[in-house]
A and B are shown apart, each in its own frame.
Chain A
Amino acid sequence: MRTLIRSAAALAAAGLTLTPTAAGAAPTPSPGAATVTKAGTSFLTATTITPGQPVRVGASTGDHLYWSFRAEAGEVHEVTATVSFGGRARTGPSTWTVDVFDGLRRRQACTAGAQTPTAAATATAVTLGCTLRRVRPWAEPWSGDPLPGTYYLRLSVTDLPEPDLGLPVEVDLLVGADTGGGGSGDDGELAAPLVANTRAGTVLTAEPAPEPVAEEDAGLTGWLPEPGSRWVWTGAGGVLAAVAGVLGFALTRRPRRP
């Protein structure tokens, strides 16, 4: 019995470790994805890209380049960027950075990658990288955890000798999304993804009228658990356990004589 439990625990542990980890190889472009040759210059004008879509854009040293992409719960994103200097003589070392913001323009942490590398004056290129945290399906409003929605990337140079500003550079960028590893075990769901409202606003002249209290609809469909919820998983586990129990019981019986 003890060995059985041990082997069960070992199997469960093996099942857990078999799930792919986020620290995989560098992202590769999706086959057939069109290369994006544009970049925005602010949060509002950020160029939309999709994970796996390569970006190649010419720019000037000192430009702040913005892209945005959509993220879903459970994904881990990895950003890699290369800035090529094209052999132009520069007067000193330059520090580059790739900043990541969520849909509310809150700074997101990188768990791995060279987020702010410094390129020597003689370097021909500099590589930047940032692996983001796994996107959670729900988080408290007061937390800064990564949530589904828009993510903004900003590539810029943060420190350099002033005479080097304006020199042409070539920027290659790729966002990879790793959906492996399944959910993070979190419950809950965000009612609306963190996507910035980009419409021009209107200043209200009066307080809005009180809203009628919403009538609650207690239909049957509201009580059915969603597929993939803990109710379904646990219920299925109970059924499996019962079947396995009957099987185990049957195994101990003597084979019936004809």
Chain B
Amino acid sequence: MINKRRSAAVLIGLLTATALIGPPPAAADDETPEPPAEPPKVELVLDVSGSMRARDIDGRSRISVAQQAFNEVVDALPDETQLGIRVLGATYRGEDKKQGCRDTQQILPVGPVDRTQAKAAVATLRPTGFTPVGLALRSAAQDLGTGSTARRIVLITDGEDTCAPPDPCQVARELAAQGTRLVVDTLGLAPDEKVRRQLLCIAAATGGTYTAAQSADELTGRIKQLVDRARDTYTATPTVVGGSAGCDGAPLLAPGVYTDREAFAEHRWYRVPVHPGQELRASVSVALDRPVNPDYGVLLRATAPDGRELVRGVDAGSGRTDAVSAGLRWSAAEEESPEPAPTGTQPARTVCLVVSNSFAPRPGTQVTPGMPVELTVDVVAASPAPDGPDLGRGWALLLLLTLAGLVTGLVAGLLTRWWVATWREN
């Protein structure tokens, strides 16, 4: 009885506390955590190789369509967004592949945009040389620099990389695996099959998108959308953490979002301290940044330090997707909570989280670096099971009770009348 009373009091206290201060994670959802010092940074990477001369988009040359699109994007650029422009294949006219494959320049440094200067720089571009996409991507990542927020590269090209190595897709994967979050969105102008494959690979490796632009309007609209997206989403960057191979010595995580890399068939362990009366919430997403076999799954388990499983979250699927995710909730059962120490304090329990996957690489798929893992950890007040007597609720109950009362009253009244009548007769 005392236990019940106590738990009820704790529950009500928690509820009133929640009502008074409001649900804290909800606030985190609505507002940005803290105003980031950095503005959103985007770099447009434009292919100015010889093939851009082809007149196959609405009867105009590819380069003129791209130039028009750039002008409109620069005009519509949000004020706080910092934009840079890099070109590849713009200057070297010769036939020497070695030299042509180093031909990439930044014609507009990443920073607050001077619209006239940007337009003038774009207007002078003439289709010229080779297509060193990989090198241009690497340089663009350097242009954008490192920092705590996400960076976005928009790659516009019409031909496959003629300069591999470095293979552009390989470069994209390397860049994505570095500390800074980098997204490469790709746009193919009149693409053939090889270009499409390459751009799809680059986009998938960095969590970006691929678009086949076949008209000037489509190209302009898409670049504007991507630049806007950079402004809307650049602050969502998780903390990089490295999970260990076992629970002992695994990184101890406070509530928040983390990112890690996990190879095929690898297990990654993390630890979370959970105080008595608290509930652990965790979710994990494993992104498919490379071709894998069509059936896959991801498993997130919470275990006690001795290896006993507490709860698991699992999801599986098949077919094309970007991420597979699973989540779990766990709170210590009432009787399981450790006895309070004599000093009046309760130590936190450590819960181990282990992330594993059942992805299978296709032949030739790269194994390292691992696939991106996004782990969300939260510790909130526990929600104990409701306990109360078997009472009812609802309008049907009121109706039933009222009718029952009415019937009882009527019966009682009739009986009384009959009894009084018979008593009088006697």
Residues of A within 8 A of B (CB): 1, 4-5, 8, 11-12, 15-16, 38, 40-45, 47-48, 58, 60, 62-64, 95, 101-102, 104-107, 138, 140-142, 150, 156-160, 162-163, 165-168, 182-183, 185, 187-214, 216-218, 221-222, 228-231, 233-234, 236-238, 240-253
- B28 and A198: CB pair below 8 A? yes
**Known contacts A198-B257, A218-B9, A248-B409: does B233 contact A45 (CB below 8 Å)?**
yes
Are B321 and A158 touching (Cβ within 8 A)? Answer: yes
Q: Is A156 a contact of B322 with CB atoms below 8 Å?
A: yes
Task: Give every chain B residue within 8 A of A211 (Cβ-Cβ).
Answer: 275-276, 345-346, 348
Evaluate contact between B211 and A207: CB separation under 8 angstroms. no
- B14 engages A191 (CB within 8 Å): yes
Q: Chain A contacts of B385 at CB under 8 A?
A: 138, 140, 188
With a CB–CB cut-off of 8 A, which chain A residues contact B199? 166
Establish whether residues B210 and A204, one from each chain, have CB atoms under 8 Å apart when the complex forms. Answer: no
**A41-B207, A197-B377, A200-B257 known; A213 vs B345 contact (CB < 8 Å):** yes
Tell yes or no: B378 within 8 A of A by CB: yes
B residues contacting A by CB (< 8 A) are 6, 8-10, 12-16, 18, 23-26, 28-30, 33, 148, 183, 188, 191, 193, 196-197, 199-200, 207-212, 218, 221-222, 225, 228-229, 232-233, 236-239, 241, 251-258, 273, 275-277, 279, 281-285, 311, 313, 315, 319-323, 325-331, 340-341, 343-348, 350, 374, 376-378, 380-383, 385-386, 388, 391-414, 416-417
A214 touches B277 (CB 8 A): yes
Q: Which residue of B has the minimal Cβ distance to A183? A: B393
Label chain B's interface by main secondary structure: mixed
Contacting residue for A60 out of B212, B232, B383, B409, CB 8 A: B212
Judging by beta carbons under 8 Å apart, are B196 and A165 in contact?
yes
Cross-chain contact of B344 among A142, A199, A212 (Cβ < 8 A):
A212
New A-B contacts (17) at CB < 8 Å, excluding given A203-B254, A237-B397, A249-B412: A5-B407, A8-B399, A8-B400, A43-B325, A47-B232, A60-B209, A64-B322, A105-B283, A158-B321, A165-B212, A199-B256, A201-B241, A203-B252, A207-B252, A213-B345, A234-B393, A249-B413
Q: Which residues of chain B are near A162, meaning CB under 8 Å?
A: 196-197, 200
Measured in the bound complex, the distance between the Cα atoms of B329 and A196 in whole Å is 12
The residue on A at minimum CB distance from B418 is A252
Given A43-B374, A45-B232, A202 and B256 touching (CB < 8 A)?
yes
Q: How far does the alpha carbon of A10 sit from the alpha carbon of B388 in the complex, in Å?
A: 29
Q: Could you tell me if A252 and B341 are in contact, using CB atoms closer than 8 angstroms?
A: no
B104 to chain A, nearest CB (A): 24
The answer to whether A197 and B378 touch across the interface, beta carbons within 8 angstroms, is: yes
Contact of B212 among A166, A190, A197 (CB under 8 A): A166
